[in-house]
Amino acid sequence: MINTNFHNILGPYSIETLSNMINAKMYNIDNQRLISGAADVENAKKGDITFIVFNNTLGKLNKSNASACIIRKYDTNIVPNSMVCLEVKDPHAAYAIIAQKFYPKDKFIPKVSNNADVPDKYKLSNKIRIDPYVVIEENAIIDDYVWIGSGSYIGKGVKIGYGTRIHSNVSLECAEIGKNVLLYSGVRVGQSGFGFAPTAQGHVVIPQVGKVVIGNNVEIGANTCIDRGSYGPTIIGEGTFIDNLVHIAHNVKIGKYCAIAGQVGIAGSTTIEDYCMFGGQVGIGGHITIGKGTQAGGQAGITKDLKEGSKVSGTPAISLSKYHRQSILLQKLIKNKGK
């Protein structure tokens, strides 16, 4: 059950409307059937639509209360006759599109709080939303339909692009933010990087005088920190999604449409090319290049360059096939030694 105290809910919609949205082929057709929500297969109730991605979980449909499902390939032996089936190439993406229709984002309502400290040119704007206790420095540039949540700080010279949503208690310094970016609560962008010269008398700080450039349609999870470059920029490419509690050091360059899970740490001046994916707690050393489309399993430790399309795991990271062989051999070694 979705709690309406927390989330917006729209609908119901006809199954035909939903099918047309995702260009699906429909089985067990019932064009008059109304769907009132979307949920995973275990939690779906009557009136909901669900989805199955993996073949080994198709059996769950027989036990599901859902009224409709989205799958890759219709099978009369798997999908109950009472359940409308929508067949698509990518069930996960199709489900995401439909779920957005039922559970939309909060509506943008322009308003500038009297309790916010903002430049005069923004106080009477009817195209932005500034919540209470926001501080915006004089020469920051805020584009139309930007929403800045309570307690956030926007430093001097910061640029924020059209339609960007900034949640509460975010700080932005030395940064240029693209269009339709989403920054969750507690994000820190553009703070000084970890730059110093160690000496016998102590550490000598190296001024960090670069910036952060974040492309369009990027999402950054709660309490993630992205340091500004020491001289040039730290760059986050278009469409990249970053989870909570990630640290990205100075002068890192991340390409387009990467996905970075929680607690990943990326050391300075590393280049990560387009479409890379990193599991939770992956550690990436500095001054290396990660090739396009690389995938790293959780807790992998990457210490050297990886070529395009690499799949790695372990510490230090090795190819996934070699990692699995090592695991099998280690298990055999331990088992034999126990005898």
Residues labelled as active-site residues: 250
Task: Determine how many CB atoms are found less than 10 A away from the CB of residue 215.
Answer: 21
Angle, vertex CA 2, rays to CA 218 and CA 217, nearest 5: 10
Residue by residue, DSSP assigns 160-200 as E-TT-EE-TT-EE-SEEE-TT-EE-TT-EEEE--S-EEEET
Q: Kindly tell me the sign of the dihedral angle through the C-alpha atoms of 42, 45, 48, 49.
A: positive
> Which residues are CB-contacts of 76 (< 8 A; sequence separation ≥ 6)?
none
Q: Kindly tell me the sign of the dihedral angle through the C-alpha atoms of 122, 189, 291, 299.
A: negative
- Could you tell me which of 60, 18, 23 has the C-alpha nearest to residue 43? 60
Q: In angstroms, how far is CA 244 from the centroid of its own chain?
A: 9
> Which residues are CB-contacts of 65 (< 8 A; sequence separation ≥ 6)?
44, 45, 46, 48
Give the DSSP H or E segment for 205. strand 202-205
CA atoms within 13 A on the CB side of 39: 19
Place of tokens 């449409």: 257
Phi and psi angles of residue 37, each rounded to the nearest 5 degrees, phi first: -170, 175
Phi and psi angles of residue 210, each rounded to the nearest 5 degrees, phi first: -90, -155
